[in-house]
C-alpha cells in the first residue's frame, strides 16, 4: 500500500506528520498546509516521576495537564481541520487523511527538566527523575463524528502504517524503553475530546504491567525454554472455547483469565516483537480483523451503539527483555451491562485483587453471537 508521509512543525515547534492515502496528495499533486499561523507559547513540559517504594513502580506527576482541553463543542474541536470561519486548530490543513502530532499537554516529554534533587526531600527512599518520554496524538480521520469502527479498511490500513512509523521512530529515541499505542473511546472512561483519535506513549521506563509480564515470561522460559505469549496463543487455539475469530495471520480470543466485563485479544500467528516487524500481508489482514472486532464490540450489548473501550498495543520492550515480549492487541470495556459500568471498588482498587462479573467463556460466546 502506498502512503505519502509529510513532516512539518506547529507554531510552538511540535512535530506534525500527515499520512495521506488519497489524491491529489498521495501522488504529490498537492501538499497539505504546512504553516501553522497561531501565536503559541512553548509547551510547558514539567512532568516528573517519583518512585513508589511500596510497589516498585514509577508514578508520573503531570500537574500541567489539569488545564488541558475538556469536552469542547464540535465547532471548537482542536483535532478537526482548520477551515474558513473557524478558529485555527492543531491541524493547519483544511482536510487530512491521518495526522500525528506531539501532544500539547504531554504526560511525558523529552525536554522535561530534571528535578533539582534526585531524591524527594533528600530522602533515599524516594528517588525522582524527569518524565523524559514522548506523547503523541493520532487523528484517525478528519471527520469529527465518525468512529474508528466506521472507517473503511483502506483508512485503517493507513492508521496502522502511521503506528508502524511512530513505533519505529520512537523506539529509536534515547532513553525510551517501550512504545504503547492506544485508543480511548467514550466519556464513561474519561475521554475529553470526542474526535476519533488515539495516542502513543514512549515510556522512559517499563510500566508495571510490562514488568509483571516480563517476570512471568522469564519464569516460564526458565521452566520450559519456550515463549509464554506464544504458548498462550497456541493453548487458546487448541482449546477453541474462547476463540472469537481466526484467519491466516491473526487470531482473536478472550483470554482464559479475562478480568474485564468485555475483553478480547488479537495476536499474530508469527512471533513478532512490535508493529514495525509486521509484513504487508499481516497488516492488510489486521486492518480487516480489527474492524470486525470493533464492530462486534458495538453489537455486544443491546441498546448500546458505541461501546466505551480501551484498545492498546502491547509491544515488546525496546531493549532489555525484548526477547520475552510479543506483540498483541488488548481491547476491553468497563461496561458490564447496558449503560452500567464496572467500578473498581474496594477489592480491585484497594488490593488489586480482581473480581470478574462474568466468565471468559460467556464473553467469547457473545462475541461469536454478534458476528456478521
pLDDT tens digit string along 218-237?
A: 999 999 999 999 999 999 99
Domains in the chain, ordered, with CATH?
Answer: 4-205 (3.30.428.10), 209-369 (3.30.428.10)
pLDDT of residue 189: 87
Residue located via cell numbers 502513543: 200
Can 314 be counted among the known catalytic residues?
no
Report the pLDDT value the prediction gives residue 66, as an integer from 0 to 100. 64
Scanning the chain, the segments in alpha helix (DSSP H) are 153-171, 208-224, 228-239, 280-299, 360-369
Instruction: Spell out, as residue ranges, where the chain has pLDDT lower than 70.
Output: 66-68, 70
Q: How far apart are CA 291 and CA 279, in angstroms?
A: 19
CA atoms within 13 A on the CB side of 19: 24
CB 211 within 8 A of CB 317: no
pLDDT score for 67: 63
Q: Which of 195, 197, 220, 314 is catalytic?
A: 197
pLDDT at 1 (0 to 100): 78
Site of grid cell 470495556: 333
pLDDT score of 73: 87
Amino acid at each position: 500500500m502506498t502512503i505519502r508521509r509529510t513532516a512539518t512543525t506547529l507554531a510552538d515547534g511540535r512535530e506534525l506528520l500527515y499520512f495521506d492515502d488519497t489524491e491529489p496528495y498521495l501522488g504529490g499533486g498537492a501538499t497539505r498546509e504546512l504553516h501553522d499561523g497561531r501565536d503559541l507559547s512553548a509547551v510547558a513540559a514539567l512532568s516528573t516521576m517519583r518512585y513508589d517504594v511500596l510497589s516498585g513502580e514509577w508514578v508520573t506527576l503531570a500537574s500541567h495537564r489539569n488545564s488541558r482541553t475538556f469536552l469542547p463543542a464540535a465547532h471548537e474541536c482542536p483535532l478537526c481541520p482548520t477551515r474558513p470561519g473557524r478558529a485555527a486548530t492543531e491541524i493547519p490543513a483544511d482536510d487530512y487523511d491521518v495526522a500525528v502530532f506531539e501532544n500539547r499537554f504531554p504526560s511525558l516529554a523529552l525536554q522535561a527538566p530534571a528535578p533539582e534533587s534526585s531524591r524527594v526531600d533528600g530522602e533515599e527512599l524516594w528517588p525522582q527523575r524527569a518524565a523524559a518520554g514522548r506523547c503523541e496524538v493520532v487523528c484517525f480521520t478528519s471527520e469529527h463524528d465518525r468512529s474508528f469502527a466506521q472507517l473503511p479498511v483502506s483508512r485503517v490500513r493507513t492508521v496502522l502504517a502511521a503506528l508502524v512509523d511512530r513505533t519505529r521512530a520512537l523506539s529509536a529515541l534515547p532513553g525510551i524503553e517501550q512504545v504503547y499505542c492506544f485508543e480511548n473511546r467514550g466519556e464513561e472512561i474519561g475521554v475529553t475530546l470526542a474526535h476519533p483519535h488515539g495516542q502513543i506513549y514512549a515510556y522512559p521506563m517499563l510500566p508495571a504491567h510490562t514488568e509483571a509480564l516480563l517476570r512471568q515470561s522469564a519464569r516460564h522460559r526458565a521452566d520450559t525454554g519456550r515463549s509464554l505469549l506464544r504458548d498462550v496463543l497456541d493453548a487458546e487455539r487448541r482449546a477453541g472455547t474462547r476463540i472469537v475469530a481466526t484467519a491466516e495471520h491473526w487470531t482473536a480470543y478472550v483470554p482464559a483469565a479475562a478480568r474485564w466485563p468485555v475483553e478480547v485479544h488479537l495476536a499474530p500467528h508469527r512471533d513478532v516483537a512490535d508493529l514495525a516487524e509486521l509484513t504487508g500481508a499481516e497488516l492488510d489482514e489486521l486492518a480487516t480483523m480489527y474492524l470486525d472486532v470493533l464492530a462486534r464490540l458495538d453489537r455486544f450489548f443491546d441498546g448500546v451503539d458505541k461501546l466505551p473501550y480501551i484498545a492498546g498495543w502491547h509491544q515488546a520492550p525496546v531493549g532489555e527483555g525484548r526477547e520475552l515480549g510479543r506483540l498483541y492487541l488488548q481491547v476491553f470495556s468497563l461496561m458490564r451491562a447496558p449503560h452500567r459500568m464496572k467500578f473498581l471498588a474496594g477489592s480491585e482498587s484497594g488490593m488489586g485483587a480482581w473480581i470478574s462479573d462474568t466468565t471468559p467463556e460467556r464473553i467469547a460466546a457473545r462475541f461469536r453471537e454478534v458476528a456478521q
